[in-house]
């Protein structure tokens, strides 16, 4: 069965420090991986995705994520956090080889708080 785990409910970092939001996944085939961000009382915004190719994916707002097949991880990173990055972050996975089963599987979310 497909699953996504975001092991940290909350991550706290100081502004200017690097941030990492963790995500691990389980799929039977090859994964498509996604990160979305949700600001308070807003919908979800697409940040970046891994489909194939380079393991380091760059996305919106200076975020990047590294696909690690051996560790089945897709951690979200940013070299220097901003207070405005404070939001809820969701990791999602789809099994590329699932045929008609194209449903995204979502993590429970990680709340990122960047302190000034």
Partner 1 sequence: DAGVTQSPTHLIKTRGQHVTLRCSPISGHKSVSWYQQVLGQGPQFIFQYYEKEERGRGNFPDRFSARQFPNYSSELNVNALLLGDSALYLCASSSLPGNTIYFGEGSWLTVV
Q: Give the integer Cα–Cα distance in Å for 1 and 81.
A: 34
Q: Give the integer Cα–Cα distance in Å for 61 and 58.
A: 9
CB of 16 to partner 1, least distance (A): 29
Site for partner 1 in 46-85 (CB under 8 A): 46, 49
Options 43, 53, 70, 116; binder of partner 1; rule CB under 8 A: 43
Q: Which is nearer to partner 1, 42 or 58 (CB)?
A: 42
Token pair 């380091």 in the structure block, residue: 56
Residue 62 phi/psi, 5-degree rounding, is 80, 5
104 interacts with partner 1 by CB under 8 A:
yes
Query: What residues make contact with partner 1 under the rule CB under 8 A?
Result: 32, 34, 36, 42-46, 49, 90, 94, 100-104, 106-109
């Amino acid at each position: 069965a497909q699953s996504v785990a975001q092991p940290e409910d909350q991550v706290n970092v100081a502004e200017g420090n690097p941030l990492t939001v963790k995500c691990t996944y389980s799929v039977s085939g090859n994964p498509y991986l996604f990160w979305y961000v949700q600001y308070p009382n807003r919908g979800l915004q697409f940040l970046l995705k891994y489909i194939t190719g380079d393991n380091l994916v760059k996305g919106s707002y200076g975020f990047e994520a590294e696909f690690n097949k051996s560790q089945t991880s897709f951690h979200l990173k940013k070299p220097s956090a901003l207070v405005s990055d404070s939001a809820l972050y969701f990791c999602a996975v789809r099994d590329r080889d699932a045929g008609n089963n194209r449903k995204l599987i979502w993590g429970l979310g990680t709340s990122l708080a960047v302190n000034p």
